[in-house]
Every structure is written in structure tokens, then in C-alpha cells.
Amino acid sequence: MYLYDDFDRTLLAERVAEFRGQVGRRLTGELNEDEFKSLRLMNGVYLQLHAYMLRIAIPYGTLASDQMRKLAHVARRYDRGYGHFTTRQNIQFNWIKLAELPDAMADLADSRLHGMQTSGNCVRNITTDQWAGVAPDEIEDPRIWAELLRQHLTLHPEFSFLPRKFKIAVSAASHDRAALAIHDLSVRLYRNGAGEVGFEVGVGGGLGRTPFLTKIIKPFLAKRDLLSYVEAVLRLYNQYGRRDNIYKARIKILVHELGAEKFGREVDAEWQSIKDGALALDPAVIAEIAARFRYPDYERLEDSPPALAAARKADARFATWVDNAVSNHKMPGYAIVTLSLKPVGKPPGDCMADQMDAIADIADRHSFSEIRVGHEQNLVLPHVRQGDLPEVFRALDAIGVATPNVGLVSDIIACPGLDYCSLANARAIPVAQEISKRFRDLDVARGLGRLHINISGCINACGHHHVGHIGILGVEKNGEEFYQITIGGRADEKAQLGTLIGPAVPYDDVPDVVEDIAQAYLELRQQSDELFIDTIERVGVEPFKERVYATR
């Protein structure tokens, strides 16, 4: 966990006081809506179809159990008893009242939580690998760098009114669990040929109307230069990013129009003039931040304790769940446990207040009071003793978060869509519910292997449909909901954008289309362990297209 000190607490208190004043000025009419909108957005407050929505940041996806309980409290006290975990390590409450928001924020601030910079044209919550600090394949804890960036970019006086939002992701593992390539700025920590650890920096990724993947503009950046380099990127963007057209205002368009190489040279020129100034990172500052990340006092344990093998043998459901939801931990005898927030037929990513409290209790008993939030809209208990797994399974199963569908066809990422969002053209959640019901037979789902479905209710692509193995985009045609289907997208270290397979299909047909695609894959794959995404890479999209549109 990151330990807050008086500075962090004071800042949050000052922020709440400022927002309380702004809400007061709005309610009396001293601020008009146009003036207020940017101010509320910078505090994570949107106006949706039915009510205000509050988005709360979970920096680098790390949540303490007391913070989870505070989220449950806010859900009950100010909302309707549930929250929605998003694809950007945030949680959203959908029914909150403007007049009560300052009180809700004050309650959150007591537990070191806030909505600062979760919306608006500023640097958003910095995301990272939900397994940071425990993943066997990472070279360092990326959260130290995410935290350094977070602090530097919190209420940054120069970059709080950018042309458009700016999303940063940080990863330090060989497997990309942070979807680096779809961010405005990607920071990948790695060891170069000379044995030094530094960053590979990419810019200009982003989905939406004009999707792009990041382009690498700095193959190797020394640690001391991280803040100055990011400052140079943002300074260029702030001055030259387009402000005449909201759809062309993201940095990806600037990078595309200038060309990545030229953009990189411009960044370098700006960076040269600031890199040896006040932003050069002092090793003492890095050490100070690193020291704020406290790791559990792990016991000395052996992997695969006999009790685990016995429990697997005794309970087939348990064994199935372990195979699906439990991953290797860097410490022997420990495991990483993923909690599926995708029960069949329910809204992806939703979590009830009672579940939050129960998860907090389980984390206290079995995961050193720590919980993680991942971009796939699932939760993680990062430090579970392997010997505790049977008990943890029973506890999670009792509250409905042990569906063994992690990474499978029913582990769907979906935006809130037209059921909540004022930007949406079509619904996303009911589509996810119907698909998950269609694949409710877990043997069928397991037979399909790893298969990511991503659903967005509009072109803004909050459901990341472009990078779903199967991507589903809702559009509106003459008042009816239709859905465009793409396949072959992926958001990992081999990121690519999916290919549209044909004309949009009506709402009722979507589960059939997904089933057709799944069936085509089963017939096309070379052997049972060839993944869906690998089959598409090998055979292309044509055979899938033919299958789907043969009878349509």
C-alpha cells in the first residue's frame, strides 16, 4: 500500500473545501453551467441520463480494505447501494445528488479517496498493472513511477486545461496487463541491452472515433528524466494540440498530423531545455516514494501445499475455480486471486455495497487488507496464502464473485451504455447480459479458451471495443439499436485494432453472431490450444465474415 502523509491529507481536505464552494456558487447561480461543467468534471462529476455520476480514482488500482468499506458506505449513504468498476481503475456511482456531493467527497477524503482528475481535460488517473508488486514477471514495482507521476501531475498549474483528456499507463512486466498501447502516453519499464533499467515511452494511443495505437518516441529514457520528459510532452500538447474540434483534440491527432518522428524531435528539443532543471529526479525523492509502498510481511511458505491438492481432489468446483481465477505470485506459497465481477446475466463490473464490505473482510483475513482493481472490471486479492484458497473460495462463492469465467467469453468488458450514459447511442449492458447467458455453460466457455469481448455503446469507445478479440459497437439507425462487430483486436503486448467484419446487426442478433464466430473458431482452429486470437491471426477475418453473413 501507499502510505499517505499529512501533505496528501491536507490536499484532499483543501480540494473538498474548494469543491464545496464551487457547488455552492453553482446552486446560487453565481457560476453558470458552462463555467461549472469543467470544474465539476475535474472532480469526477458527470451529468448522466438520470442523475449525476461520481467517478472515484483508485490510483494504480490499489485499494485498502478500509477504503473498500468507505466505497460501500458512499454507495449506501449517497447512492443506491452499488457501484460500477470501470476499465480505468476507477469506480462510478450513478445516482448521486449534486447538493450531497461535497459531503460524499469529504467522507471519501477521510479514507484517502477522491475524484480529482477522473474526468475533464486534464491528466487522468494513472493506471498500471493490477498485479503490480506481486507479478512474477515484473522487473520493478511500476506503482512507484505511477505515484511519482500522479503527484507531479496532481493540480499541475500548467496542465489542468489541456485540449482534451490525457491518459497515462505504466507497466513493468513482460506481459502487458495495463493496455499500454491505447493510452495517450505509455511508460514501460524494462532492462535494456546494457543492463540499465529505464523507460520506453510511447505516445498517441487512444480509441474513440479515430483509433490509434501508441508510437514509441523514446526507446530508452533514464529514470531521472521521467518527469521532465513527460512535462515536455505535455507542454507541446498543451500548446499545439487542436482545440478547434473536440474529435481532433487528443494528442493522437497531433502525433498523427506531425508524424511520430517529428513529434519526438520536438519533444526532445523542449526536453533538452528542462531536463537538467528542477524536474531531474533526485534519487532521494525516488527512494522516499518507494519507501511509502509497504509490502506485506510474508511468511516463508512452500508452493502447492498438500492441503490444496487435497481440496482440489475433494471439490471439483473448487478445482475449476483455482484453474481459472488463481495466478502465480512472486512469493512462494502465495497466490493472486481474481474476483469475477461478471456473474452470468449481471451488469459487468457492478458491485453491491454488501459485497464490498464482505470483500474488505476477506481481504483483512486473507490478503493483508489489500484489494486491486483491474482494467477488465474485475477485482483481485493480491496476497492469498495458497493454503487459504479453499476458505477464500467458499467466502467469495458465498457473495457471488467466484464465477470461474475470468478471461473467458462471459468475462465481458462493457461501458454503461444508453442505460446510464448521455453520450451513448445504444445499450451495452443488456447485450453483455444476453451474451453471458448464451454462454452460461462453463464447459462451453472453457472450451473456447481465452476470448475477450468488449462492448461500447458509442464511438467514444469506453468499452474498448477496438481492442476486444470480439468488439461490439452500438450505433443508432433510424431510432433502432444496431451493433458493428470487429474481430482480432487485442490490448496486450501484441496490441492491435480489430477489423470490422461487415454491416451492423440488430440488437437481437448479437448473441447469435457471437455464437457464429465462436463456432467458426472451433472449426478453424488447428488444435485445441490455439487461442481464438491466434486463429484469427493465422486465417484472417474472411472465414469469420463468411460464417456470420452467410445467412444474414
Partner 1 sequence: MTSPLQQKLKISGSSVVTANRLADGAVVYRTAEGTWTTDIDSAAVVSSAEAATSLLTAAKADGVQAVDVYVAPVKLKDGRILPANLREAIRLRGPTIELPITFGI
Partner 2 sequence: MPLVRSGKIVEDRFLRVADGEPVPERGPVIVSAERFLADADEFAQREDAVGVIWPNSRNVSELEPHLANLALIALVFPVYKDGRAYSQARVLRERFGFRGELRATGQVLRDQFLFLMRAGFDAFEVAKPADATAFEEAARRYSVFFQPTGDGRVTVARVRTSRDARPVSVRSERVSA
Q: Would you count residue 391 as binding partner 2 (CB under 8 A)?
A: no
Q: According to CB under 8 A, which residues from 75 to 134 bind partner 2?
A: 112, 121
Beta bridge partners of 373: 379
Closest to 408 (Cα-Cα) out of 448, 355, 362, 350? 448
333 φ/ψ sector (left φ>0, alpha ψ -120 to 50, else beta): left
Q: Would you count residue 323 as binding partner 2 (CB under 8 A)?
A: no
Q: Would you count residue 531 as binding partner 1 (CB under 8 A)?
A: no
Q: Which residues in 23-121 belong to E strands, given as ranges?
A: 45-47, 52-57, 62-64, 82-85, 90-96
Instruction: Please tell me the count of residues contacting partner 1 according to CB under 8 A.
Output: 32
Closest to 87 (Cα-Cα) out of 125, 132, 134, 121? 125
Shortest distance, position 32 Cβ to partner 1, whole Å: 5
64: partner contacted, choices partner 2, partner 1, none (Cβ within 5-8 A by kind): partner 2
Shortest distance, position 271 Cβ to partner 2, whole Å: 13
Question: What single letter denotes the amino acid at residue 84?
Answer: H
In the complex with partner 1, the residue whose CB is nearer, 98 or 500, is: 98
Stretch that binds partner 2, among 148-156, 247-255, 453-461, 541-549 (CB under 8 A): 148-156
**Residue 178, helix vs strand vs coil:** coil
**Residue burial 191-221, b: 16+ Cβ < 10 Å; e: rest:** eeeeeeebbbbbbbbbbbeebbbbbebbeeb
**Which residue, chain included where needed, has cell 484469427?**
536
Q: Would you count residue 352 as binding partner 1 (CB under 8 A)?
A: yes
Taking CA atoms, 545 is separated from 270, 540, 551, 552, in Å, by: 48, 10, 11, 11
Instruction: Please tell me the count of residues contacting partner 2 according to CB under 8 A.
Output: 53
Retrieve residue 346's grid coordinates. Answer: 449481471
Stretch that binds partner 1, among 74-82, 256-264, 289-297, 373-381 (CB under 8 A): 74-82
Retrieve residue 93's grid coordinates. Answer: 456511482
89: partner contacted, choices partner 2, partner 1, none (Cβ within 5-8 A by kind): none
In the complex with partner 2, the residue whose CB is nearer, 30 or 303, is: 30
CB 159 within 8 Å of CB 122: yes
Q: Would you count residue 430 as binding partner 1 (CB under 8 A)?
A: yes
Stretch that binds partner 2, among 153-161, 165-173, 424-432, 504-512 (CB under 8 A): 153-161
Q: According to CB under 8 A, which residues from 80 to 109 bind partner 1?
A: 80-82, 95, 97-99
Q: Would you count residue 302 as binding partner 2 (CB under 8 A)?
A: no
Closest to 169 (Cα-Cα) out of 190, 137, 146? 146
Q: Would you count residue 546 as binding partner 2 (CB under 8 A)?
A: no
Retrieve residue 209's grid coordinates. Answer: 472515433
Do the bridges between strand 45-47 and strand 62-64 make them parallel or antiparallel, or are there none, so unpaired?
unpaired
313: partner contacted, choices partner 1, partner 2, none (Cβ within 5-8 A by kind): none
131 phi and psi angles, rounded to 5 deg: -100, 15
Retrieve residue 89's grid coordinates. Answer: 481503475
28: partner contacted, choices partner 1, partner 2, none (Cβ within 5-8 A by kind): partner 1
Q: Would you count residue 266 as binding partner 2 (CB under 8 A)?
A: no
Retrieve residue 336's grid coordinates. Answer: 493472486
Shortest distance, position 240 Cβ to partner 1, whole Å: 21
E strand or H helix at 328, and its extent?
Answer: strand 326-328
Stretch that binds partner 1, among 66-74, 166-174, 188-196, 420-428 (CB under 8 A): 420-428
Q: Would you count residue 247 as binding partner 2 (CB under 8 A)?
A: no
Among 176, 350, 370, 516, binds partner 2 (CB under 8 A): 370
Retrieve residue 342's grid coordinates. Answer: 461478471
Q: Would you count residue 450 as binding partner 2 (CB under 8 A)?
A: no
In the complex with partner 2, the residue whose CB is nearer, 150 or 188, is: 150
Residues 309 and 387: their CA atoms lie apart, in Å, by 10
Shortest distance, position 406 Cβ to partner 1, whole Å: 22
CB 486 within 8 Å of CB 466: yes
Among 38, 48, 328, 460, binds partner 2 (CB under 8 A): 38
Among 30, 33, 276, 302, binds partner 2 (CB under 8 A): 30
Q: How far is CA 209 from the centre of its chain?
A: 19
CB neighbours of residue 494 within 10 Å: 10
Q: Would you count residue 508 as binding partner 1 (CB under 8 A)?
A: no
Closest to 39 (Cα-Cα) out of 154, 121, 125? 121
Shortest distance, position 154 Cβ to partner 2, whole Å: 6
Written in H, E and C, the secondary structure of 406-429 is CCCCCCCEECCHHHCCCCCCCCCH
Stretch that binds partner 1, among 20-28, 303-311, 491-499, 524-532 (CB under 8 A): 20-28
Q: Would you count residue 211 as binding partner 1 (CB under 8 A)?
A: no
280: partner contacted, choices partner 1, partner 2, none (Cβ within 5-8 A by kind): none
CB 171 within 8 Å of CB 313: no
CA dihedral 514, 516, 518, 520 (to 10 degrees): -150
**Which residue, chain included where needed, has cell 528539443?**
269
Q: Would you count residue 151 as binding partner 2 (CB under 8 A)?
A: yes
352: partner contacted, choices partner 2, partner 1, none (Cβ within 5-8 A by kind): partner 1
Q: Would you count residue 135 as binding partner 1 (CB under 8 A)?
A: no
> Can you give the binding site for partner 1, defined by CB under 8 A?
26-29, 32-33, 47-52, 80-82, 95, 97-99, 347, 350, 352, 418-420, 422, 427, 429-430, 433, 479, 481
> Can you give the binding site for partner 2, defined by CB under 8 A?
1, 3-11, 14, 17-18, 22, 30, 35, 38-39, 64-66, 112, 121, 151-152, 154-162, 235, 238-239, 243, 273, 278-279, 282, 284-285, 288, 294-297, 368-370, 383
